[in-house]
Structure 1
Amino acid sequence: MASESGRIDSLDALRGFAIFGILLINIQVFSGWGFVASETRQALAWSEWDEPIATWLDILVRAKFYSLFSLLFGYSFMMLAERVQHGPVRYHLKRMLGLLVIGTAHSLLFSPWDILMLYGAMGFFLGAFLSVRASILAACGVALLMITGVALWFAPRLGLADLGGSLSLRLLQENVPALSGGSYPEVVEANAYLSVSVFLDRIEHLRPLRVMAMFLFGAAAARLHLAERDSGHVRLLVAVALAGLVLGTALAMAEVKLTEDTLTSEMVKLVGEVGAPPMLAMGYGAILLLWWRGNGLLTRAVRSALAPTGRMALTNYILQSAICICVFYGMWGDRFASLSLAALMLFSGMFFVGQMIFSAVWLRIFTQGPLEWLWRWQIKRKRPRLLR
């Protein structure tokens, strides 16, 4: 369903849903919970719930919502390219340059676990796929995932698996303490080193190839207009939902639960590592798009509640980082490593409800989020209208 502004409410709602899943994972590093020993975790209130929560987060959420966010990025790329009449490639390159600048600032000032720089860098390659059919886009995405799996399988056997791993770990160990007790300038300096650590880790695990694969899947979905209510393709969405949710969950559970050190278990875990995130991401997207094609009271309520958050996805993504470091880092809120995972999930739920309310109120007054407005200004080189 498209709004008066031409936006697709279901697509915006799906983007808001992805923002919530990203928060559930990122809160673990912002809060410090992901860095402390198990003995310290066990002393925290409600920690008896942490193990099952962590397991299900690993199965259903970790890497899956970033994959969904990447899928939506590819969808938006193709949708915007079809709307831009003159110079769509140049327009896209300007968008990616702006995203790189925003991502770099976000990484240094707030979160070294930023994803926007990677999106901006890999997004430059999307311009080559403007005229490609949906089937070819999907085939290229599958090929990239297969290449990723083969490379990850042979890398340790060729002695290439840990080229930057030791440096990445050392940078992490040396700079995380600044987050719990350093001043803000010390945090910014630590973020610079941690950004290098994150970069090395992502290269080691071939994140750029996985992100590009999801971009291509999203672009293929946009070619078919799957987010639009009247586009048809119901059978395709049902098939993707069933295959993605059932097979994706099975692979994710195998990856998390298998502990045997055998050749077969290693292969299954690798397939789960590479295949489960895109399959579950597509499964989540397909089932929600099917639901939001309806017009029932609950359907409209959920879609309408999530859509404003998704329309301001860039602002809300960076706002999560800004608020979390104010709450948890030692320089301000000083709550670093003081909450259990169960408490963090409760905090995340309340925080996201606040973001939904904030987004809805903001968009009643303004045409778009503040960072979206600045980004559009950079692209068009002309200040767009902000007040309604």
Structure 2
Amino acid sequence: MSLVTEPASPSRIASLDVLRGLALLGLPTMNIIVFAMPSAAYVNPQAWGDGNALNDILFGFFYLFADQKFMGLFTLLFGASMLLLAEQSEVSGRNAASVHYRRTFWLLVIGLMHAWYLWEGDVLQIYAMIALLLYPFRYLNPLTLLVIAACALNVTLYLSHFPDISEATIGADGRYDLKAYFQPDIAQVEEQRAMYLGSHEDTVAAVRGTLATEFTDSEHSADLILAKGGLAMLVKVFGMMCLGMALYKLGVLQGWRTSREYRRLAGICLGIGLPLTGFGLWWNYAQQWNMDAWYAFGMIPQHLGAVFMTVAYAALVLLALRTVLPKSMATALAAVGRMALTNYLMQSLICALLFYGYGLGLYGSLSRLELLPIIVGIWCGQILLSLIWLRYFLQGPVEWLWRTLTYFNLQPMLRRRVG
């Protein structure tokens, strides 16, 4: 890719907001599964439901086109936003490092509160922890950042490989504990139902682990496997943020490249990522979603393919902004993206109130098909709310709080009326 001239600031901010809005609206397509069903349904179509063809079709569609793609895009943009904030801080005469670490600290606090009181699947705290390490990387050139991202991805693949989870290795209790995350039995499903259909106090206490009994040695073996999987996710987030920083430095995410370059980037990445992801889906079905096979290899094609598809999505959207994307749709996506933190937390609140016991208690009662209208409803509601809110206010309420805490003074909120 050849370097191109950098356009004015508003253009690049708009493109980042559109991408962020798309990523944000894509999150509930997968996150809602964890709210509405036993968590194993996220990774295994045979873990929940009646096993009909429609369940498999919907699982396959979202596996191919949503799983890890929108979260990956969200992560890319977080890495890019670190560089953007540093640039803006330096232009305004602020200490860029001080702003970064204050901003990251408060994001960590928000993420911990989100996980502690609402949903244990929070990613903000993970982003904040990685961001605390990443600031010195802003000075690296794009090629170095790409190499680091590639190395991190390879470590992720290594950490996602569990060749032996046999009973001889981790014990009967350890295998039983792993089944809760991949193919729970009736007792494990009922345990999860009781956890999420209780009162708010009971639910948050359960997910915090305060009701857990003492671990046996076998359960510790299973915990080590789960911890290794968690570490794989941390390393992948680190790598995706580095990739986002590299793409920002190359002018890709801001829309500064030529249309021909975006077409080429989308074609290459989609040509690699979609077959890889499709192979992973086929392979797991060929193995009949066997737990040993999935831990040994089954998740690796998705990890790798999703990275390429994430970059392809970014290139396709930026290309569409120049060609076929209606202005009204771009405006709607940008509005959602400008309120990404507010909308992210709102999605958790909406899903908790729909599915948990202290809300409507729909947990475990809806199929994948029945979740689709809820997803569309979240899309429409957040687009409408974002457009209306930003007509009167400069930023979302949580964004306002975050920036106020970061800069230690009240940030402007209301739009000034002219005339």
Q: Is structure 2 residue 371 aligned with structure 1 residue 344?
A: yes
**Which one has a bigger Cα radius of gyration?**
2
What value does the CA root-mean-square deviation take over the aligned residues? Answer: 3.4
Corresponding residue of 2:337 = 310
Q: 1:6–1:380: structure 2 CA closer, same or farther, 3 Å change rule?
A: farther
Corresponding residue of 1:275 = 304
Q: Is structure 2 residue 125 aligned with structure 1 residue 117?
A: yes
> What pairs up with 1:101-180 in 2 under 5 angstroms?
101-153=109-161, 156=163, 173=188, 176-180=192-196
How many angstroms does 1:151 deviate by? 4.0
Distance in 2 (CA, whole Å) between partners of 1:68 and 1:371 is 21
Q: 1:222–1:132: structure 2 CA closer, same or farther, 3 Å change rule?
A: same
Corresponding residue of 1:56 = 61
3-state SS of paired residue (1:13): helix
> What pairs up with 1:231-380 in 2 under 5 angstroms?
231-259=256-284, 269=298, 271-294=300-323, 298-380=325-407
Distance in 1 (CA, whole Å) between partners of 2:62 and 2:345 is 22
Distance in 1 (CA, whole Å) between partners of 2:408 and 2:225 is 34
Query: Which deviates more from structure 2 when the two are superposed, residues 55-64 or residues 3-12?
Result: 3-12
Q: 1:35–1:228: structure 2 CA closer, same or farther, 3 Å change rule?
A: closer
Letter in 2 for 1:181: L
Letter in 2 for 1:129: F
How many angstroms does 1:41 deviate by? 2.4
Q: 1:187–1:10: structure 2 CA closer, same or farther, 3 Å change rule?
A: same
Distance in 2 (CA, whole Å) between partners of 1:39 and 1:317 is 27
How many angstroms does 1:149 deviate by? 2.2
Q: Would you say the 8 A contact 2:164–2:296 is kept in 1?
A: no
Q: Is structure 2 residue 74 aligned with structure 1 residue 69?
A: yes
Q: 1:258–1:375: structure 2 CA closer, same or farther, 3 Å change rule?
A: same
How many angstroms does 1:246 deviate by? 2.0
Post-superposition Cα deviations, 1:268-317, rounded to whole Å, max 9, x if no partner, equal 856513311111111101110111134x6x43122111111111111101
Corresponding residue of 1:190 = 206
Distance in 1 (CA, whole Å) between partners of 2:105 and 2:251 is 27
Corresponding residue of 1:224 = 250
How many angstroms does 1:5 deviate by? 6.5
Q: Is structure 2 residue 95 aligned with structure 1 residue 87?
A: yes
Distance in 2 (CA, whole Å) between partners of 1:301 and 1:108 is 37
Pairing partner for 1:204 from 229, 237, 259:
229
Q: 1:4–1:68: structure 2 CA closer, same or farther, 3 Å change rule?
A: closer
How many angstroms does 1:332 deviate by? 2.1
Letter in 1 for 2:348: S
Distance in 1 (CA, whole Å) between partners of 2:296 and 2:198 is 43
Q: Would you say the 8 A contact 1:108–1:192 is kept in 2?
A: yes
How many residues get paired? 377
How many angstroms does 1:232 deviate by? 2.8
Letter in 2 for 1:184: H
Distance in 2 (CA, whole Å) between partners of 1:360 and 1:3 is 24
Structure 2 unmatched runs, 5+: 1-5, 213-221, 288-292
Corresponding residue of 1:181 = 197
Corresponding residue of 2:290 = none
Distance in 2 (CA, whole Å) between partners of 1:370 and 1:301 is 23
How many angstroms does 1:138 deviate by? 1.2
Distance in 2 (CA, whole Å) between partners of 1:183 and 1:222 is 45
3-state SS of paired residue (1:368): coil
Distance in 2 (CA, whole Å) between partners of 1:167 and 1:352 is 36
Q: 1:338–1:266: structure 2 CA closer, same or farther, 3 Å change rule?
A: closer
How many angstroms does 1:8 deviate by? 1.8
How many angstroms does 1:90 deviate by? 2.1
Identical positions, percent: 28
Q: 1:252–1:38: structure 2 CA closer, same or farther, 3 Å change rule?
A: closer
TM-score, normalized by length of structure 1? 0.86
Q: Would you say the 8 A contact 1:255–1:269 is kept in 2?
A: yes
Q: Would you say the 8 A contact 1:145–1:213 is kept in 2?
A: yes
Distance in 2 (CA, whole Å) between partners of 1:184 and 1:112 is 13
Letter in 1 for 2:353: C
Pairing partner for 2:18 from 9, 13, 16:
13
Distance in 2 (CA, whole Å) between partners of 1:138 and 1:234 is 22
Structure 1 unmatched runs, 5+: none
Q: 1:315–1:165: structure 2 CA closer, same or farther, 3 Å change rule?
A: farther
